[in-house]
Amino acid sequence: MKLAECLNTADITTLRRIADHYGLPGSRHSKLALLQEILFAFRSRPFLDAQVSAWHQRREQALIRLCLDPRSAFSAEELQGLFRASGLSEDSIGDCVSEGWLFPTTRFRGRLQYCIPEELKQRLRACVIGHFAQQVVTSDEGPVVFQDEEHALARDLDVLLEYTAHHDVRLTVDGAMYKRNLQQLLELLEIREAPLEGGWRFGYGRRFHDYPDRLALIYDFAYAQRYIEERDDGRLAVTDEAAEWMRLGAVEKQRALFKFYVSLYRRPILRLPQIIQLLAHVGTRWTESASMLQALGPLVNAYYYDTREQVWNSRILKMMLHLGLIRRGHDETGRDWFQITKLGQQLITPDALPSTGDEDRAPLRILIVQPNFEIAVTGETPFILNELSHFATLHQGGALRIYRITEESVQDGLKAGHRLSEWLEFLHAYAQTAIPGNVERALRDWDKRWWEAHGVLSS
């Protein structure tokens, strides 16, 4: 909606609030007079430039998220959550309405929402990006030596499918490839990775704790798209659906991988869509990594065993390099630089990134399912705790509750009449990250074993 349309559909009380906020002249009893005065003021470039700057200074973090969101309307609950997360007061919605850049409307879906007029959103967006760019160190000349992986990720997914189709790939009881197969596969990939050497890993995918970062993303994507399956006979197999992947073009393959990366990593990195958009706007020139991280501020946070710097370097920049979105290198002084590639500019579009409002509408992702069959609970919601107790037992109380899943706890839940398939859906809905593959596989095996022992088909 344009500003004139927003003003025309607003009630006279809203128009009075705007006029009083800016001390505009004219009658407060005529809607037409108020509308004309407000439009006249907002069409003055010096006035609007000053106000946009003031709005940005008061609510910088909130405006980053609002202006980079492709949607045109937001619910009151979303805005309240966003403002709270940015350290703003509960009255912020009313203040924004009085300032004339946020308007209540029932035009979208027939319920009360708030929209930003199109031209004001464009000006705010330009202000946000311009202010952000001023904080970042850029250069026209990048490092002499840099890495650009282009379409290698998609090509290596082809290798995974070809290798699986022509080899007997055995799986451990946890559902991971045996070391011999894994080593052979890693040696065939265009971008080499070393097998994991132990350590605590979770949060970034179903098989993240079994395989190195890049292969874990490739494998999880192929599994999620049902191009591969972990069969009950302990083998990895290619499905008929894999033919769909082979028919896609190079850019379409890379776009699908990019979308999957964002959907997978945005749970542990809540602001990932906004971060990627800011990188795309600023990173057309060579950009110093450290200055970008500093400018991003609270948009990048530590995640359990990953420090803030590790999240930035390993979970964002390194994965964007693997996806062909950026090229990356170091200068002679050791500083890290990156630049958005042509492929990155082609893929990072508003429709390629999910709406940024999901995390505000779904604040109950308070479960962290870990590969050791423990579930950490980061909040207290009776409904979730009750559902959790159906197949898991409380192992540790206190501020951070720890529940543990065992075969016995699963059997107890099945005896009580609960359905494990429904409980898995519950975990997917309320978990911050993907359920580790070894946990999901074990749960399904225990479920199947129990039903077979009782002479009934599995749930």
Residue 459 covered by a domain: no
* Pair 437, 206: CB distance under 8 Å: yes
SS3 content of the chain, % helix, strand, coil (to 5): 55, 10, 35
In a shared domain, residues 380 and 330: no
**d(C-alpha 212, C-alpha 195), whole Å:** 6
Residue 284 covered by a domain: yes
Among the candidates 355, 389, 408, a domain finishes at: 355
Torsion of CA 255, 258, 259, 262, to 10 degrees: -170
Residue 96 covered by a domain: yes
In a shared domain, residues 47 and 118: yes
* Residue indicated by tokens 């779904």: 362
**d(C-alpha 256, C-alpha 347), whole Å:** 10
In a shared domain, residues 306 and 294: yes
Q: What is the pLDDT of residue 352?
A: 59
* Pair 83, 93: CB distance under 8 Å: yes
Residue 15 covered by a domain: yes
**d(C-alpha 83, C-alpha 58), whole Å:** 11
* Pair 10, 103: CB distance under 8 Å: yes
User: Which residue positions in the chain have pLDDT lower than 50?
Assistant: 358-362
**d(C-alpha 421, C-alpha 446), whole Å:** 12
Tokens of 173: 């009881």
State pLDDT tens for residues 157-187. 999 999 999 999 999 999 999 999 999 999 9
Among the candidates 134, 151, 169, a domain finishes at: 134
**d(C-alpha 229, C-alpha 92), whole Å:** 49
In a shared domain, residues 246 and 340: yes
* Pair 105, 43: CB distance under 8 Å: no
> Structure pTM?
0.87
Q: What distances in angstroms separate CA 443 from CA 142, 207, 236, 249, 456, one per listed residue?
A: 50, 15, 18, 37, 17
Query: What are the beta bridge partners of residue 376?
Result: 368, 402
Q: What is the pLDDT of residue 360?
A: 44
Contacts of 201 (CB under 8 A, 6+ apart): 208, 209, 305, 371
Tokens of 380: 């207290």
The HSE-up count of residue 366 (CA atoms within 13 Å, CB side) is: 18
Q: What is the pLDDT of residue 406?
A: 96
In a shared domain, residues 182 and 235: yes
* Secondary structure (DSSP) of 71-96: -SEE-HHHHHHHHHHTT--TTHHHHH
Q: Identify which of 310, 364, 275 has the alpha carbon closest to the alpha carbon of residue 200.
A: 310
State pLDDT tens for residues 97-129. 999 999 998 876 678 899 999 999 999 999 999
In a shared domain, residues 216 and 350: yes
The HSE-up count of residue 319 (CA atoms within 13 Å, CB side) is: 27
In a shared domain, residues 191 and 212: yes
* Pair 177, 202: CB distance under 8 Å: no
The residue range of the domain holding 379 is 362-453
In a shared domain, residues 126 and 156: no
Q: What is the CA radius of gyration of the chain?
A: 26
What is the number of residues in the chain?
459
Q: Identify which of 289, 348, 280 has the alpha carbon closest to the alpha carbon of residue 143.
A: 289
Number of domains in the chain: 3
In a shared domain, residues 341 and 370: no
In a shared domain, residues 148 and 282: yes
Q: What is the pLDDT of residue 398?
A: 76
Torsion of CA 445, 451, 455, 459, to 10 degrees: -110
Residue 309 covered by a domain: yes
Among the candidates 294, 328, 355, a domain finishes at: 355
Residue 458 covered by a domain: no
Q: What is the pLDDT of residue 260?
A: 96
**Residue 23 region by backbone torsions, left for phi larger than 0, else alpha for psi between -120 and 50, else beta:** left
In a shared domain, residues 381 and 336: no
In a shared domain, residues 61 and 190: no
